[in-house]
Amino acid sequence: MSRLPWFSGAVLLALVLTAVLAPVLAPHSPTEGDITRKLIPPVWMERGGWEHPLGTDRFGRDVLSRIIHGSRISVTVSLIAIGVAGTLGTALGLISGYRRGLTDTVLMRLTDIGLSLPTILIAVVMVAVSEPSFRNVVLVIALLLWPRFARQIRGETLAVKEQDFVALAVVAGRSSAWIIRRHIFPNVVPTLLVISTLQVGYVILLEGTLSFLGVGVPPPNPAWGLMIADGRGFLATAWWISLFPGLAMLLTVLAVNLMGDWLRDRLDPKLRQLGGRADVRTVPEMAPLGSAIDGAPASGRLPT
Amino acid sequence: MRHPRRLFASVLVLAVLALAPAPGAAAPDGQMTWAVHISLAPTWFDPAETPGIGTPFMILYALHDALVKPMPGNAMAPSLAESWTASKDGLTYEFVLRPGVRFHNGELVTADDVKFSFERYRGAAARLLKERVPVVEVVDARRVRFRLKEPWPDFMTYYGSLATGAGWVVPRKYLEKVGDDGFKKAPVGAGPYRFVSFNPGIELVLEAHEHYWRKVPSVKRLVFKAVPDETTRLAMLKRGEADVVYLLQSELAEEARRTTGLTLRPTPIVSTHWIVFLDQWDPKSPWADRRVRLAANHAIDRQAMNDAITLGFSRVTWSVIPQSFDFYWQPPAYAHDPARAKQLLAEAGYPGGFDAGDLWCEPATATMSEAAANYLQAVGIRTRLRPLERAAFFKTYQEKKLKNLAYSISGAFGNAAIRLETFVAAGGPYVYGSYPDIDGLFREQAAELDRKRREATLHRIQQLVHDKAMYAPIWELGFIHAQGPRVAEAGLGLIPGWAFSAPYEDVKLKGK
């Protein structure tokens, strides 16, 4: 069993605390600046000072404060987008895998279409058409994300559905909704948790990309992608405008992905069977229809 | 005939001389490239669609020509018209066309084309022009007469300056053949350069019209590349991929100034910038309260913005009307006083500020808009920046589809009455609402023939605009351009108040 990734945990804890306590932690307002104090370098450079430890941007806004408040945007977009996409994808995946037949075919073809779309291009077009705003960015990301959940959850549902406790429930005359709610869903939760964690980094990067391209969260909001874009004209002279939000994004995505890997190792029954951190490439993504991996019983609660 | 060969040779030489460019004029040569700060739109290829801003004339000065237009040393220079006269009663204006001037397709420019161009004009102030000039008569092929309903002292300012495109002449036969859309795809004009190609979002290519009446252009090919990203524009200038770049700000302008071989060309122009409170006529909006509008005016530090963004080259004038315009009235300054702004907001019932919604702008003014938004934010007026491409911005603005706030600009020529007609008085193309006292005075001045009384009325209107805090004026832009080492004459600032290079037949490369 792999060890708890302390680095990832610490970074993510810091991120969440920063997001929650942003108004307390940030030394300045993220959107107010004194344009006469623009492009002040970080504290360790000549002309730098502790008033603006990471310097100021071209409008004289404090870079550190903007990064701190920017974490709120990243965390909020991730939570809401993954919440919406996860709920929708999980519901469709459960229905698709449990019902099979025409419902399954239709839903999975829709999922295939969703998965085959060029994500960034579609996101740019959708946000540009619907006008850039925080709400629309979240909705567009959620719309592009749900097929990933639906496909994985359907695979898990297919495996769980073949378990004896499900068959017993069917024989006992339980309704499909009851069986999905009581037996299938609890057994796919670990997978859901792993997918969700792995998508956080992706969502942060996608939101950053959209903001960088000018179709994400509108200025003067302190989105990290927006900050990187804002400073790209000054890379030679005022590199700190882009570098620090870029580092914040890099650290966050790295931490989230490492945490996702660890969670997968911990929670994925297939990997647990293989003992600890396995090479995931050797493990089939989906159980063959009608059987659990290696004939082993699926993890999950037995009906009581 | 004793010497038929000699006679033939003489005729041939005469024919060649007749068709060749003017004596002494060198053939056009070389290419000059502009990196333009906005995406070019085909609507700007057609003078009939000029929307009351200066931008389209950037292209019109190359492709087309007007009867009368601003030129170096003359704000109303005879161009396609070699002369014009106004009757004593002020009811008739007669223009005599320059003989032998041809469009790029070889057709002669005639009085019929002038009448056709005026009648098809549908841009800014079109309704006003048609109402006040009900009859245009073709006297003969070179004479055209405009009959006014009543004396109108502003007629030539509307018709012969860059206030409108009504005086710019297009070829009737060609336009009737290809239609409006076809004309935008392949415009034909009488200007110093003819259309070669247009790749939307990429570039516009023009080539010298060697038979242009004023002079043979010096540069063979003009290329206008659309480069909305400022850093890329400067990089192109440094690498020699562009010879002239429009709009550099802040550090990039400083960098251009420091770079050997590049020349910074700050150009004072008649472009005023201001924030419009679009919702001020909605009683439910916070902007309906004058104190809120005053608060916004006290929140913004224009001089700091000027020093930081336009290196001090702009002029903070407190008006939407350029200082050089006839009938200009100088409004008093708003002190930059955030405390006073917050107090005004509190008095208006917004002690914690309010969400002011969107601040619409176009990419070229995004930096200025964001700086202003930051100042508003500092007193509690929270906005989101919403940039739209320039053509789309003005179209949406004109269609009255914007809400909340807009960062408005205009570099159109004219006088105070014309600027007020376009942006302040009821019925103007960009007017979302108006005030009865201002509208009454505006009608009054329009009928006034006595210049002094008219001036007093126009001053009163501007005073009311200020008293009501209808806008938050930012500045009169000091437009910072830059040119590369190959350029001998970029055409910047040759026409006083004009924003871009012009006249294009005067631009020159070194060693040509």
- Mean pLDDT score, A198-219: 86
Whether B269 has a pLDDT exceeding 70, the answer reads yes
Q: Is A77 helix (H, G, I), strand (E, B) or coil?
A: helix
- Mean pLDDT score, A227-253: 90
- Is B230–A38 a contact, with Cβ atoms under 8 angstroms apart? no
Task: Give yes or no for A29 touching B (CB within 8 A).
Answer: yes
Task: Give yes or no for A239 touching B (CB within 8 A).
Answer: no
- Mean pLDDT score, A245-266: 89
- Is B386–A214 a contact, with Cβ atoms under 8 angstroms apart? no
State residue A288's pLDDT score: 37
Q: Is B357 helix (H, G, I), strand (E, B) or coil?
A: strand
Q: Find the CB nearest A220 among B251, B374, B387.
A: B374
Task: Tell me the three-class secondary structure of B134-193, residue by residue.
Answer: CEEEEEECCEEEEECCCCCCCHHHHHHCCCCCCCEECCHHHHHHHHHHHHHHCCCCCCCE
Per-residue pLDDT tens digits for B403-435: 999 999 998 889 999 999 999 999 899 999 999
Q: CA-based angle B213:B191:B511, to the nearest 5? A: 75
CA of B280 vs chain A CAs: smallest distance (Å): 23
State residue A287's pLDDT score: 37
Whether A294 has a pLDDT exceeding 80, the answer reads no
**Which chain A residue's Cα is nearest to B363?**
A214
Give CA–CA dist B491/B499, Å, rounded.
Answer: 10
Task: Give yes or no for A222 touching B (CB within 8 A).
Answer: no
Per-residue pLDDT tens digits for A273-287: 555 444 433 333 433
Task: Tell me the three-class secondary structure of B436-481, residue by residue.
Answer: HHHHHHHHHHHCCCCHHHHHHHHHHHHHHHHHCCCEEEEEEEEEEE
Whether B247 has a pLDDT exceeding 60, the answer reads yes
Give phi and psi for B287, each to the nearest 5. -70, -10
State residue A278's pLDDT score: 40
**Which chain A residue's Cα is nearest to B367?**
A59
- Mean pLDDT score, B478-490: 96
User: What's at A61, amino acid-wise?
Assistant: R
Per-residue pLDDT tens digits for A105-120: 999 999 999 888 888 8
Token pair 């579609």 is found at A122
- Name residue B137's beta-bridge partners: B145
User: What's at B329, amino acid-wise?
Assistant: W
* Percent composition of chain B: helix, strand, coil (DSSP 3-state, to 5): 35, 25, 40
Kind and range of the H or E run holding B88: none
Whether A132 has a pLDDT exceeding 80, the answer reads no
State residue A137's pLDDT score: 87
- Mean pLDDT score, B71-77: 95
Give CA–CA dist B222/B199, Å, rounded.
Answer: 14
Lowest mean pLDDT among A209-213, B213-217, B231-235, B334-338: A209-213
Helices (H), B24-80: 57-63
Give CA–CA dist A39/A53, Å, rounded.
Answer: 12
State residue A234's pLDDT score: 85
Per-residue pLDDT tens digits for B98-137: 999 999 999 999 999 999 999 999 998 899 999 999 999 9
- Is B251–A33 a contact, with Cβ atoms under 8 angstroms apart? no
* Residue of B234, B377, B401, B403 to mutate, testing the A interface (most A Cβ within 10 Å of its Cβ): B377
- Is B377–A31 a contact, with Cβ atoms under 8 angstroms apart? yes
- Residue A301's pLDDT band (cuts 50, 70, 90): very low
More reliable by pLDDT, B483 or B387: B483
* Residue of A29, A32, A39 to mutate, testing the B interface (most B Cβ within 10 Å of its Cβ): A32
Per-residue pLDDT tens digits for B342-386: 999 999 999 999 999 999 999 889 999 999 999 999 999 999 999
ipTM confidence score: 0.72
Per-residue pLDDT tens digits for A88-106: 999 999 999 998 889 899 9
- Residue B3's pLDDT band (cuts 50, 70, 90): low
Whether A297 has a pLDDT exceeding 50, the answer reads no
Give CA–CA dist B344/B334, Å, rounded.
Answer: 13
More reliable by pLDDT, B6 or A253: A253
- Is A32–B385 a contact, with Cβ atoms under 8 angstroms apart? no
Give CA–CA dist A40/A238, Å, rounded.
Answer: 8
Token pair 């979002």 is found at B201
Whether A127 has a pLDDT exceeding 90, the answer reads no
More reliable by pLDDT, B493 or A122: B493
Give CA–CA dist B122/B166, Å, rounded.
Answer: 8
Residues of B in contact with A40 (CB under 8 A): none
The token pair at B122 is 């549908």
State residue A271's pLDDT score: 60
